[in-house]
A and B are shown apart, each in its own frame.
Chain A
Amino acid sequence: MFSRDYEFWGKHAQYTKYLCNDLHIFERYIDVYMSGALMGLIYGRTAKRDISNKDRAAILTDTFVKEKLNCQFTYRLVMLLDESMGLTKSQRIDRAFRDDTNEEAMKNNMNLFNSYVLGGVEVLFEKITSNCTTEEEHIDRVNEVVNYFKNYNEKGFEEKQKTFIDKLMSS
């Protein structure tokens, strides 16, 4: 788990670089990676690796080693809560905790995880950059995101999610 380099490809590489290097909203690619996984899961969005262009953004193994606990935590959350594969609750718990040493299972799990990462990177990019041009607007947008999550309660999540996106798109 997280024992090798990871590369964003194509548009995901471009989004990641833009969020980190141009807007400076994320400090490292791995921050985009982990946030992406969570956002993908929250918004139920996955994506495939984009091979439409040759742009790349790499996260080295060393960085994963440093962030191992956070990565593992994120991974287990995704494995527990992903319902896309039609697994029972018990199977999801096993997937989250028993597959760590099962190479074949881990490969599938990581693919699933990374598909959430890519979907989440798209969500992050859209939420943070849509209708924003200045540094001031980007800071305001980040603050809106933080506020949204602060005011969240599970019951109204689906409804709020919709409102939030509508609001962003109409601003």
Chain B
Amino acid sequence: MLLKYIKLKNFRQYRGEQMVEFSCDPHKNVTVFLGENTSGKTTLVQSFKWVLYGSVTFPSDILLNIELLKEMNPGNSEQVEVEISLEHDKTEYCISRTQNYICESKGDANPSFSTIKIIRKMGDGQTKIITDKKDIESTINKILPKDLSNYFFFDGERIESISRDRDITDAVKGLLGLSTLENAIDHLKPSRKDTVYGKFRESLVKGDEEAEKINKELEQKQDELDEIEILIFNVDDNLKHYNARKEVLEGKLRDNQEVSKAQKEREINEQSKIRDEERLQDRNKMFIRNFNTYTISGFARPLIEKAQKLLKSAEVDNKGIPHMDASSIDFILKKGQCVCGRRIRHGDEAYNNLLEQRRYLPPQSIGIAIQQFTNDMEQCKSSVEKHEENIQSHYKDILELRSNIREYEDNIYDLSEIIRGKVDTVKIEEELLEIKNKIKNEEQRKENLNIEKAECSTLIKLYEKEIGEHLLASEKNKKIRLYMEYTEELYEWFKNKYDVQGEDIRRELEKSVNEIFNKMYHGQRKILIDNRYRIDLYTEFQGENIKTDESKGLETVKNFAFICGLVDLARKKVNKRTNGDIEDVIRTEPYPLIMDAPFSNADEKHVKSISRVLPDIAEQVIMVVMEKDWRYAEEIIGSKVGMEYILNKKSETLTDITKGD
């Protein structure tokens, strides 16, 4: 595919009709658009996707220029249109997509469904308009399958997601021409009822009721077998993926044994610190509680000796009742009843006894009060030591706990210094355990599937034998059997070619990707591509390939290398086409690379490395870049530029494309 021009009409910022031609000069195959932020760079690249697939990734589904939309009056209609002209497989195509907008109220318009039109110019100069929906789809798919379009119209800011995208196996196979072989194999496959072989067998048993019945069971078993094989393939694929991850994780753990040890020690120290902090809190509380019970006796002690000396001089009797004074007796006498309930009358024995007792109570007599107070002081003196002992013991614990905590803190600090900036091995170990469990489960699943597969295969053989025994050796059947043998042979031939070719192409792609990668990156790593065209970075460790981590910059370079590798391989296939061999069947097209902000995640060094490689790999390079990024790229790629355009941002909603110097 070689792009000739694009015409934009009222497509977002691009108001009116604006047309841009692309450089098709093989020596100056780069077309560059320079624009500042929000000048419509992404819109330009998205317009290619819209014209081909009708989809864009803008937040709003209104594609009509906003200024135009605001000027519309009710009843007015406007149109958005994108048209591209391209050459594919020596045929020229003009593809256009339009969308109408009808204004319902001022400044508001509803879009209609977009419609696509393809005009094919034949070699003899005649043109053909493709209108049938299926034809349109298949034509677009032949030119560039949608699944792969992300690789050719790509956004540099999102390049890191490329290797994590959904399964692109079919799309890559299509691009590299393997789909043709795959279709042939599918068409001939003996184990399916809807294939050539299946049809022959059906006609073989036709008319023989018993044979037809057995054939039906056979077909059912073959379907089951097909499903089992797909499941086994998926399990194998999962296992491969998990084992690769396991290797990476084990490698990381090997590299980080010291960190792992430090992490474990830090964890122990952290736990001990938390434990002792809790203990310290408890001890502090106990210390304070003891201090509160101590205060009276503790603070009173210096005063007690003084008080005791003073009271030595006082006359002390102990006939009174402790903690009672004369007012209590006066109260009882006045009430005429004792606390025990006995009635007290003036002058009786109880009355006189109480009066006698009153003489020994304060204020008349303070002997008993002093006696009591002296006892309290003695008790105070004797309890204070116990309180002090408790306080001292708690304080000792507090000091010990504080010292422990400080030691743990020092250890945590030192260990953190060792760990700082290194990977978290605890997480790695957790993931490794999870992966190991997954591997175990998948292996168990595979074992069960293999048992089912063996059962199915045995039954299929049995049914085939039964059918064979049942059928008459008629001329017709003889002929059909011969055709079936031919079909089987043909199937085996294609399958062998496919296996060899598929593996060759995967290997070739891997080689090509690595060659390009090595031009951009100078280190020990290499890219491995699996049978589903997933890419990963590996490094060699003791003779084994170990999957490695990658920085954002390195990931960008890796994904660039993959895209360039695909384009490069697709181009080589066309150039290598020869007659009379299988390669004649496998044929693909050269493709352009259309890039939006390709250098946004790359630094100066990577910009230069990528620029050096790009024009040699793609037949046509179209890039929309910011001037600041172009500075570094221009040094390298400048001589290859055939066309240069400037995106002149007039306002947030208006951009004009003008030709550069």
| Min CB gap B361→A, angstroms | 10
Inter-subunit contact A99/B310 (CB<8 Å): no
Choice from B327, B366, B377 contacting A98 with Cβ under 8 Å = B366
Inter-subunit contact B295/A42 (CB<8 Å): no
Chain B residue at minimum C-beta to C-beta distance from A25: B288
| Min CB gap B314→A, angstroms | 5
Chain B residue at minimum C-beta to C-beta distance from A146: B391
Inter-subunit contact B303/A42 (CB<8 Å): yes
CB-CB under 8 A from B57, the residues of chain A are none
Binary interface encoding of chain B residues 290-320 relative to chain A, with 1 for a CB under 8 A from any of its CBs, else 0: 0110111011111111110011011000000
CB-CB under 8 A from A60, the residues of chain B are none
Inter-subunit contact A93/B302 (CB<8 Å): no
Inter-subunit contact B363/A73 (CB<8 Å): no
Choice from B289, B299, B369, B388 contacting A39 with Cβ under 8 Å = B299
A76 to B372, CA, bound (A): 11
A77 to B309, CA, bound (A): 12
Chain B residue at minimum C-beta to C-beta distance from A94: B366
CB-CB under 8 A from B380, the residues of chain A are 73
Chain B residues numbered 496-520 whose CB sits less than 8 Å from any CB in chain A:
none
Inter-subunit contact A34/B363 (CB<8 Å): no
Chain B residues numbered 321-377 whose CB sits less than 8 Å from any CB in chain A:
325-327, 362-363, 366, 369-370, 373, 376-377
CB-CB under 8 A from B305, the residues of chain A are 154
Choice from A35, A92, A100, A150 contacting B295 with Cβ under 8 Å = A35
Inter-subunit contact B366/A24 (CB<8 Å): no
Inter-subunit contact A89/B310 (CB<8 Å): yes
Q: Given A26-B292, A97-B370, A101-B326: A139 and B362 within 8 A (CB)?
A: no
Binding site of B, secondary structure by majority: helix, strand, loop or mixed? helix
Choice from B291, B296, B377 contacting A25 with Cβ under 8 Å = B291
Inter-subunit contact B366/A93 (CB<8 Å): yes
Query: Is B402 in contact with chain A by the CB < 8 A criterion?
Result: yes
Chain A residue at minimum C-beta to C-beta distance from B284: A139
A27 to B362, CA, bound (A): 34
Inter-subunit contact A100/B294 (CB<8 Å): no
Inter-subunit contact A38/B373 (CB<8 Å): no
Query: Is A70 in contact with chain B by the CB < 8 A criterion?
Result: yes
Chain A residue at minimum C-beta to C-beta distance from B281: A135
A146 to B284, CA, bound (A): 15
> On chain B, which size bracket covers the interface?
35 or more
Choice from B310, B325, B376 contacting A100 with Cβ under 8 Å = B325
| Min CB gap B287→A, angstroms | 6
Query: Is B53 in contact with chain A by the CB < 8 A criterion?
Result: no
Chain B residue at minimum C-beta to C-beta distance from A96: B373
CB-CB under 8 A from A26, the residues of chain B are 292, 295
Inter-subunit contact A24/B388 (CB<8 Å): no
A136 to B369, CA, bound (A): 43
CB-CB under 8 A from A31, the residues of chain B are 292, 295
Chain A residue at minimum C-beta to C-beta distance from B402: A136
A101 to B325, CA, bound (A): 8
Choice from A80, A90, A101, A149 contacting B299 with Cβ under 8 Å = A149
Query: Is B395 in contact with chain A by the CB < 8 A criterion?
Result: yes
CB-CB under 8 A from B376, the residues of chain A are 69, 73
Q: Given A100-B362, A100-B363, A143-B395: A80 and B295 within 8 A (CB)?
A: no
Inter-subunit contact A99/B299 (CB<8 Å): no
Inter-subunit contact A93/B295 (CB<8 Å): no
Query: Is A14 in contact with chain B by the CB < 8 A criterion?
Result: no
Choice from B295, B307, B327 contacting A77 with Cβ under 8 Å = B307
Chain B residue at minimum C-beta to C-beta distance from A160: B302
Q: Interface size (A, Cβ < 8 Å)?
A: 43
Query: Is B527 in contact with chain A by the CB < 8 A criterion?
Result: no
| Min CB gap A119→B, angstroms | 13
Chain B residue at minimum C-beta to C-beta distance from A97: B366
Choice from B291, B325, B373 contacting A146 with Cβ under 8 Å = B291
Binary interface encoding of chain B residues 272-288 relative to chain A, with 1 for a CB under 8 A from any of its CBs, else 0: 00000000000010011
CB-CB under 8 A from B392, the residues of chain A are 146
Inter-subunit contact B299/A38 (CB<8 Å): yes
CB-CB under 8 A from A70, the residues of chain B are 296
CB-CB under 8 A from B289, the residues of chain A are 27
Choice from B295, B303, B313 contacting A34 with Cβ under 8 Å = B295
Query: Is A132 in contact with chain B by the CB < 8 A criterion?
Result: no
| Min CB gap A89→B, angstroms | 6
Binary interface encoding of chain A residues 43-63 relative to chain B, with 1 for a CB under 8 A from any of its CBs, else 0: 000000000000000000000
| Min CB gap B432→A, angstroms | 43
A143 to B283, CA, bound (A): 13
CB-CB under 8 A from A150, the residues of chain B are 298, 388
Query: Is B398 in contact with chain A by the CB < 8 A criterion?
Result: yes
A139 to B391, CA, bound (A): 11
Chain B residues numbered 371-424 whose CB sits less than 8 Å from any CB in chain A:
373, 376-377, 380, 388, 391-392, 395, 398, 402
Choice from A34, A77, A92, A139 contacting B287 with Cβ under 8 Å = A139
B residues engaging A (CB < 8 A)? Answer: 284, 287-289, 291-292, 294-296, 298-307, 310-311, 313-314, 325-327, 362-363, 366, 369-370, 373, 376-377, 380, 388, 391-392, 395, 398, 402
| Top 8 A-B residue pairs of the complex, sorted by shortest distance between their CB atoms | A97-B366, A38-B299, A98-B363, A35-B295, A97-B369, A101-B327, A27-B292, A143-B395
Report 28 cross-chain contacts, Cβ distance below 8 Å, ordered by A residue.
Answer: A25-B291, A27-B288, A34-B295, A34-B296, A35-B295, A35-B299, A42-B303, A73-B296, A73-B300, A77-B300, A77-B303, A81-B306, A81-B310, A93-B311, A93-B313, A98-B362, A99-B363, A101-B327, A101-B362, A101-B363, A136-B402, A139-B287, A139-B395, A142-B287, A146-B391, A149-B298, A149-B299, A157-B302
A residues engaging B (CB < 8 A)? Answer: 24-28, 31, 34-35, 38-39, 41-42, 69-70, 73-74, 76-77, 80-81, 89-90, 92-94, 96-102, 135-136, 139, 142-143, 146, 149-150, 152, 154, 157
